[in-house]
């Protein structure tokens, strides 16, 4: 549910803990009485003033910079008042409490509370108000949270492009093309007896082809952006002592998992997020897959299969030093069969041959899969490139904007509706009503991305994930 948008709100807008600077932010209407109570005078719009922040008895709580951004020229589109103080936890809590107390005090000039109804902001409420007041669209609002949460430089730069409106501009370009087509179709429906065929004269078929081409380009960049934001989950699977933990350590560049010659050392899930060309990969090391009577190891194996079944890609590790042994090869074949039966066809399984450094010089490595040595690093870079391939990553850094799974799904629905619209157009006048409906549905799906209209519960979910004060 959306927050009470008429209430003035206040929050500490910087991260918790100690820091050199901390910010308390207020957003609402007619903030002058509250500003006077805290600062002792009016503030010049958009100009920083260094002064004491006053307590109820006039004594200073702290000294710092105060700023006033009158509506609509502010982040939220409302009046915004900021106190930039020293970043101590106690100091900021005192200023927050003082704002709330001063808001409830009677203003001598009016006889009314200085700022009636002031309350602590809910998560993401400042950004939510910026969206509701038309300062940013929904995709840009999400980009704020993505920029804060970015785990790689590429993700941060892409989120910044989304925040600046690069993604939204492309969506609006698609929307404009859809609206033009809808106008043509509606005109044909409204004037069916006219001799001029509006759709043929305006090359509606050509416009649909151009729209499909534009949409494909946006989809490609959005998929890349979703990869930068979400990454993929890669699970390392195989028999005990195949080198799974060594591979995790080699990919991560750190000793994260215990490595031992004793089979079954890894009994629980060990995971680490790494980045390859800016793409986050969530790599999971699992217990060795085998029949075991050990109760603890059985739990680890069950957890391993749970991770495997939720993977976006699986690295099936084979020990080159044991691959010729009949029992080992038979066990690998059984695991391969289980992977094929328990994984969707869309989840790639990459065969990885480990311990290349221990392979005799006279024995060539297999032609299929990736052969490597976690000890020497040979083949690790090849595996990294292979992982990017299966993830669908293409290096287009300047054109990528950060996107979310819901954006990609919405664009897929647009693609489906446009395909149906193309089929209806080919059937000419008999299916013009259906053509108009498919174009309308395509426009609705695009509007979901920018939030021009949508369900309140969708907005609530999105903004509830923000931090307080943002």
What is the reported pLDDT for 190?
66
Q: What does each C-alpha distance from 424 to 175, 183, 201 come to in angstroms?
A: 20, 16, 17
337 and 383: one domain?
Answer: yes
Task: Please tell me the distance from the alpha carbon of residue 392 to that of residue 408, in angstroms, as a whole number.
Answer: 14
278 assigned binding-site residue: no
* Residue 145 is assigned to a structural domain of this protein: no
* 246-252 mean pLDDT: 84
98 and 169: one domain?
Answer: no
84 and 39: one domain?
Answer: yes
392 assigned binding-site residue: no
SS3 264: coil
260 assigned binding-site residue: yes
454 assigned binding-site residue: no
217 assigned binding-site residue: no
215 and 287: one domain?
Answer: no
The rounded Cα 112 to chain-centroid distance in angstroms is 44
pLDDT tens digit sequence for 374-420: 889 899 999 998 988 888 776 555 557 778 888 999 999 999 999 99
pLDDT tens digit sequence for 266-315: 445 678 888 887 788 889 988 888 887 778 888 888 898 999 999 999 99
* Residue 67 is assigned to a structural domain of this protein: yes
Domain assignment of residue 284, given as a range: 231-391
User: Looking at the chain, how many residues does it have?
Assistant: 470
233 assigned binding-site residue: no
159 assigned binding-site residue: no
Average pLDDT in the chain: 85
44 assigned binding-site residue: no
Nearest by Cα to 340 from 308, 303, 366, 370:
308
Which of residues 391, 422, 439 is at a domain's end? 391
Which of residues 137, 158, 192 is at a domain's end? 137
Task: Please tell me the distance from the alpha carbon of residue 443 to that of residue 454, in angstroms, as a whole number.
Answer: 12
Strand partners, 271: 284
* Residue 396 is assigned to a structural domain of this protein: no
301 and 351: one domain?
Answer: yes
Residues 409-447: b if buried by 16+ CB within 10 A, e if exposed: ebbeebbebbebbbebbeeeeebbeebbbbbbbbbbbbb
DSSP state of 112: S
**Residue 57 maps to which CATH number?**
3.30.1360.120
49 assigned binding-site residue: no
374 assigned binding-site residue: yes
| pTM beyond cutoff 0.75 | no
Residue 430 confidence (pLDDT) above 50: yes
* Residue 82 is assigned to a structural domain of this protein: yes
Assigned token pair, 11: 């929050």
251 and 217: one domain?
Answer: no
Assigned token pair, 81: 């008042």
264 assigned binding-site residue: yes
285 assigned binding-site residue: yes
76 assigned binding-site residue: no
SS3 394: coil
Assigned token pair, 305: 């299969």
445 assigned binding-site residue: no
Q: Confidence band (pLDDT; 50, 70, 90) for 231? A: confident
Q: How many domains does the chain have?
A: 3
Q: What does each C-alpha distance from 160 to 142, 144, 200, 455, 463 come to in angstroms?
A: 11, 8, 42, 26, 18
Residues 287-297: b if buried by 16+ CB within 10 A, e if exposed: bbbbebeeeeb
SS3 364: coil
* Residue 466 is assigned to a structural domain of this protein: no
57 assigned binding-site residue: no
Whether the link from the prior residue into 298 is cis, omega within 30° of 0, is: no
* Residue 16 is assigned to a structural domain of this protein: yes
386 and 237: one domain?
Answer: yes
Which of residues 107, 137, 167 is at a domain's end? 137
413 and 305: one domain?
Answer: no
262 assigned binding-site residue: yes
269 and 354: one domain?
Answer: yes
385 assigned binding-site residue: no
**Residue 376 maps to which CATH number?**
3.40.50.300
* Residue 457 is assigned to a structural domain of this protein: no
82 assigned binding-site residue: yes
246 assigned binding-site residue: yes
181 and 100: one domain?
Answer: no
59 assigned binding-site residue: no
337 and 244: one domain?
Answer: yes
* Residue 143 is assigned to a structural domain of this protein: no
pLDDT tens digit sequence for 333-380: 999 999 999 999 889 999 999 999 888 877 788 888 999 998 898 999
288 assigned binding-site residue: yes
Q: What does each C-alpha distance from 344 to 234, 236, 237, 254 come to in angstroms?
A: 15, 17, 16, 32
What is the reported pLDDT for 159?
85
76 and 210: one domain?
Answer: no
């Amino acid at each position: 549910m959306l927050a009470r948008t008429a209430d003035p709100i206040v929050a500490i807008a910087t991260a918790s803990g100690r820091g050199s600077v901390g910010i308390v932010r207020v957003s609402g209407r007619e903030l002058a009485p509250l500003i006077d109570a805290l600062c002792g005078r009016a503030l010049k719009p958009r100009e920083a003033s260094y002064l004491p922040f006053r307590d109820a008895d006039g004594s200073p709580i702290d000294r710092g910079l105060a700023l006033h951004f009158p509506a609509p020229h502010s982040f939220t589109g409302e009046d915004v008042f900021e106190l930039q103080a020293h970043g101590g936890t106690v100091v900021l809590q005192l200023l927050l409490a003082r704002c709330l107390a001063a808001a409830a005090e009677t203003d001598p000039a009016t006889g009314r509370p200085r700022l009636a109804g002031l309350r602590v902001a809910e998560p993401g409420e400042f950004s939510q108000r910026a969206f509701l007041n038309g300062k940013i669209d929904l995709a840009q609002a999400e980009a704020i949270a993505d920029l804060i949460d970015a785990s790689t430089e590429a993700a941060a730069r892409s989120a910044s492009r989304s925040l600046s409106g690069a993604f939204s501009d492309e969506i609006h370009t698609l929307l404009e093309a859809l609206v033009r087509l809808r106008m043509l179709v509606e005109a044909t429906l409204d004037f069916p007896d006219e001799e001029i065929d509006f759709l043929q004269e305006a090359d509606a078929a050509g416009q649909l082809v151009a729209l499909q081409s534009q949409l494909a380009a946006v989809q490609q960049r959005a998929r890349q952006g979703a990869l930068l934001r979400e990454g993929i989950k890669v699970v390392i699977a195989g028999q005990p002592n195949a080198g799974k933990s060594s591979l995790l350590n080699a990919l991560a560049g750190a000793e994260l998992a215990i490595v031992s010659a004793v089979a079954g050392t890894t009994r629980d899930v060990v995971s680490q997020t790494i980045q390859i060309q800016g793409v986050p990969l969530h790599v999971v090391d699992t217990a060795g897959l085998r029949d075991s009577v050990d109760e603890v190891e059985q739990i680890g194996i069950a957890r391993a299969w749970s991770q495997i079944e939720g993977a976006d890609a699986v690295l099936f590790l084979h020990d080159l030093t044991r691959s010729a042994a009949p029992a080992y090869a038979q066990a690998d074949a059984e695991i391969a069969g289980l992977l094929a039966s328990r994984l969707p066809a869309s989840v790639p399984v990459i065969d990885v041959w480990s311990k290349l450094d221990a392979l005799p010089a006279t024995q060539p490595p297999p032609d299929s899969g990736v052969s490597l040595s976690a000890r020497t690093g040979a083949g690790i870079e090849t595996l990294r490139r292979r992982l990017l391939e299966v993830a669908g990553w293409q290096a287009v850094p300047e054109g990528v904007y950060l996107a979310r799974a819901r954006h990609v799904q919405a664009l897929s629905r647009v693609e489906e509706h446009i395909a149906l619209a193309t089929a209806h157009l080919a059937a000419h006048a008999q299916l013009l009503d259906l053509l108009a409906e498919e174009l309308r549905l395509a426009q609705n799906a695009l509007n979901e991305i920018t939030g021009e209209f949508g369900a309140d519960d969708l907005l609530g979910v999105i903004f509830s994930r923000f931090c307080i004060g943002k």
